Amino acid sequence: MSTQGGTPLLAARDLYKSYGRNEALRGASVELGEGEILALTGASGSGKSTLLHCLAGIVQPDDGAVVYDRRRVDRMTEDQRSELRRTEFGVVFQFAQLIPELTVLDNVSLPLLLAGTDRESARATASEWLERFGALGQALARPGQLSGGQAQRAALARSLATGARIVFADEPTGALDSLAAEQTMTALVHAVRESGTAVVLVTHDAQVAAYADREVQLKDGKAVEAGLGALPAQERA
């Protein structure tokens, strides 16, 4: 799966991963370039979420290599992979997974505080990212007071606030209606274009995949290049 020249920021080579007798990945390979938005698509059970989790260092493959910025993610310890997700990777799931006891602003500030940023600076950065996602008006709300779209945009702001080079989004619009999904994806694309952040996006929705620069389909645990998203480049930007 080529990034069309140059050294990829992230690459998976011949990944295999099984859960018991279920072979989720059977030699999957994929590449991600700097600032690229890549959609992983495929039927349920095709291995797309497993591939994303291997790329993000959430799970380790049984065989194959995951290389990020010339470093072997698959050979890192669990602590090293956790550190990578705190500093250089952002991860967003289908449900926002915000901490219910904290305000939205504190949820977005938390990764910065854990990284050693002082409280005032962390809250200022968090506010900037919430504003980019059109969620600053909900900064003092609790997650339980948010709509699904508002919560997901806050989760995306949290994933980018630390300066992540890659955001891994696993079905980020899967629990949203079509309007909220469109608003969330539009906000995400604009935010990552401004910051230069790359995105790996798992989705079953062709309209969501169309926001990507490139689409890779997972079929029976293998990756097959599917081409560019359906939206013109200027609209994706």
Is the pLDDT reported for residue 231 higher than 50? no
Q: How confident is the model at residue 218 (pLDDT cuts 50, 70, 90)?
A: very high
First CA to last CA distance, the chain: 22
Give residue 12's identity as a one-letter amino acid code. A
Judge contact between 126 and 108, C-beta under 8 A.
Answer: yes
Instruction: Please report, for the chain, the start and end positions of each structural domain, with discontinuous segments joined by +.
Output: 34-46+83-236
- C-beta separation of 79 from 155 below 8 A: no
pLDDT for 157 = 92
Residues 109-133, mean pLDDT to the nearest whole number: 93
Kindly list the distances between the CA atom of residue 18 and the CA atoms of 1, 67, 87, 93, 111, in Å, as whole numbers in the listed order.
Answer: 22, 20, 28, 21, 32
* pLDDT value of residue 12: 95
Identity of the residue numbered 177: D
| Predicted confidence (pLDDT) per residue in 168-213, tens digit | 999 888 888 888 889 889 989 999 999 999 999 999 889 999 999 9
Gap between the Cα atoms of 156 and 144, Å rounded = 17
Please give the share of the chain, as a percent, with pLDDT higher than 70: 93
Q: 61 pLDDT band (50/70/90 cuts)?
A: very high
Closest C-alpha to 36, from 193, 198, 230: 198
Residue 234 pLDDT: 36
Please classify residue 22 by burial: count the beta carbons closer than 10 Å to its beta carbon, then call 0-12 exposed, 13-18 middle and 19+ buried.
Answer: exposed
Residue the block writes with tokens 């995400």? 188
pLDDT band for position 140 (cuts 50, 70, 90): very high
* Architecture label for domain 34-46+83-236: 3-Layer(aba) Sandwich (3.40)
Listed residue (146, 79, 52) closest to 107, CA to CA:
146
Distance CA 163, CA 13 (A): 26
8 A C-beta contact, residue 116 and residue 131: no
What is the reported pTM? 0.86
- At residue 175, the pLDDT reads 82
Reported confidence tier of residue 5, pLDDT bands at 50, 70, 90: low
Residue 227, pLDDT score: 54
32, 85, 33, 35: which is closest to 197 by C-alpha? 35
Question: Once rounded to an integer, what is the mean pLDDT over residues 51-66?
Answer: 95
